[in-house]
């Protein structure tokens, strides 16, 4: 992979890249390909490679921000922790939400299951989690919908659990949705917007849909990068 082909934004403080689906950000215990192994190619003259400012799941594609040095990483951490970074996701889901637009407010908790690993669940004693959604289009047979999602919090697997809780799980989500599905996860981090520098315009980056997702989005009304 040529990581430079995935670069969406670059300045002296941050990089925003378009992470490919199927590539974990960290190396696992068994080794294998991962995003961090390409960071050396993103130094652009600095003494150290950039640092991850947040995470995306292995099978989620799209916008991912990196801090180019420790000062930048602290600034990004502050913006993310205070909810000042606007993250927009696109998803194809099964069925349709109850309203054209709305908000999912459901606390999330991590649980461990014997011999089945861990998962996130909606629980009264979980951490506060809020997601705004908007219906962008539906398939002709009404079995699938295209949603725009704006998480107001950043909990693990938040969008996947919230949409399953709403009754319209993300297509290809075998962990929280249809376990028998053969589809790829249809979740894409469409854009990031952040006020990185006080008194200056907001930095924005937008990641185009990967080819393997375009078909289902087109079935639900997507008409290219005019959206």
125-176 confidence digits (pLDDT tens): 999 999 999 999 999 999 999 999 999 999 999 999 999 999 999 999 998 9
Tally Cβ neighbours within 10 Å of residue 132: 15
Tracing tokens 């922790």 back to the chain, one arrives at 81
Longest dimension (CA), the chain: 54
Higher pLDDT, 115 or 131: 131
CA distance 94 to 146: 9
The pTM (predicted TM-score) of the whole model is 0.94
Asked whether residue 48 is domain-assigned, the answer is yes
CA distance 35 to 17: 10
118 pLDDT tier (thresholds 50, 70, 90): confident
222 pLDDT tier (thresholds 50, 70, 90): very high
Higher pLDDT, 227 or 70: 70
Helix (H/G/I), strand (E/B), else coil: 147: strand
Asked whether residue 224 is domain-assigned, the answer is no
Closest C-alpha among 92, 72, 65 to residue 210 = 92
Asked whether residue 16 is domain-assigned, the answer is yes
pLDDT (0 to 100) of residue 227: 59
Asked whether residue 225 is domain-assigned, the answer is no
26 pLDDT tier (thresholds 50, 70, 90): confident
Higher pLDDT, 112 or 170: 170
Q: How wide is the angle at C-alpha 23 spanned by C-alphas 211 and 132, nearest 5°? A: 70
Asked whether residue 227 is domain-assigned, the answer is no
Asked whether residue 226 is domain-assigned, the answer is no
Task: Count up the domains in the chain and report the number.
Answer: 1
CA distance 18 to 91: 16
Domain residues for the domain of 176 are 3-219
pLDDT (0 to 100) of residue 76: 96
Q: Is 59 one of the annotated active-site residues of the chain? A: no
pLDDT (0 to 100) of residue 181: 83
Alpha carbon of 95 to those of 74, 106, 120, 169, 172: distances in Å?
Answer: 41, 20, 22, 8, 13
CA distance 2 to 20: 11
From the candidates 5, 57, 125, 173, give the one annotated as an active-site residue: 57
Identify the CATH number of the domain in which residue 173 sits: 3.30.2350.10
27 pLDDT tier (thresholds 50, 70, 90): confident
pLDDT digits (tens, 9 = 90+) for 40-76: 999 999 999 999 999 999 999 999 999 999 999 999 9
Higher pLDDT, 189 or 28: 189
226 pLDDT tier (thresholds 50, 70, 90): low
pLDDT digits (tens, 9 = 90+) for 172-213: 999 898 777 889 999 999 999 999 998 899 999 999 999 999
């Amino acid at each position: 992979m040529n990581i430079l082909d995935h670069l969406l934004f670059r300045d002296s403080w941050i990089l925003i890249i378009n992470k490919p689906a199927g590539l974990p950000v960290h190396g696992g215990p068994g080794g294998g390909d991962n995003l961090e192994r390409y960071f050396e190619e993103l130094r652009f003259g600095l003494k150290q490679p950039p640092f991850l400012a947040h995470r995306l799941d292995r099978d989620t594609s799209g916008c991912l921000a990196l801090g180019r040095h420790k000062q930048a990483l602290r600034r990004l951490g502050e913006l993310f922790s205070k909810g000042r970074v606007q993250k927009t996701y696109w998803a194809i889901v099964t069925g349709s939400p109850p309203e054209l637009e709305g908000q999912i407010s459901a606390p999330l908790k991590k649980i461990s299951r014997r011999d089945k690993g861990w998962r996130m669940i909606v629980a009264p004693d979980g951490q506060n989690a809020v997601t705004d959604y908007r219906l962008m289009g539906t398939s002709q047979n009404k079995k699938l919908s295209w949603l725009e999602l704006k998480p107001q919090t950043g909990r693990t697997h938040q969008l996947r659990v919230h949409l399953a809780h709403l009754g319209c799980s993300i297509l290809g989500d075998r962990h929280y949705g249809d376990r028998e599905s053969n589809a790829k996860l249809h979740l894409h981090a469409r854009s990031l917007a952040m006020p990185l520098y006080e008194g200056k315009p907001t930095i924005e980056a937008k990641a185009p849909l990967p080819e393997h997702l375009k078909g289902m989005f087109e079935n639900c009304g997507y008409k290219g990068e005019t959206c």
